[in-house]
Structure 1
């Protein structure tokens, strides 16, 4: 079976914040209007640093996804240039949650995954129910915890 790619859901708050950051950085890089409160004004230092930061923020915004690989029984979390592989056999439980904690997700509507002796990761695939169903096909022993709110 081929792998399945689940794009990250983009919440309005997360998208708004990241869009504003990318716009401000772009204005600063191209027009040098000192919109961003950058402590160094030397263009040879300032512009490359701002470009790197813009690339990092852009990569998070455009590359965040979750790749389900049934053949290797893994989930690969891609968050910008960060990659984390989770063995599906080590997942104990999953539940839908809503929070603003830092995580490799672009929305506050998340799936919390407990794996490998109390490790936690929160992700936000657009198709949450399909994601959970596909993971449960690979490891039917995963406990799905109930939440007060349906997603």
Structure 2
């Protein structure tokens, strides 16, 4: 029996449209998740590395990205949101700690209220806002992180 046929048969049985005898039960089951797949590399690495004797840390793949990389912050948000969705409180808290640490490093590097850009665009699912003047990075970062934690996608892009 093909995986599709098996999954369809299980669905029919669960919906009460088909009865099963003990010799007809499929030997395997497929589960389909309608969730983004990119954070699961890190979630699985976290689950595989957990032991009682080792201090819990973020997966190595998240820790080895360049510190100032915007991709690193995005890579932290994705497992954070999936951990929250799955109820993995420990991983969610580890991601929050790392995000806070990165924010503090960014604030210390640039100073509170210092301007670093000429043209900055901040957009989300709401209408885009573009600033042609300088913008203070700590305030923009805090706004974006709080926006993302409510589950709305957003992007910060530097315009040439």
Do the two structures share a fold, i.e. TM-score over 0.5? no
TM-score range, shorter chain: under 0.3
Query: TM-score scaled by structure 1?
Result: 0.26
The structure in which a higher percent of residues are strand is 1
Of structures 1 and 2, the one with the larger relative CO (CA 8 A, separation 6+) is: 1
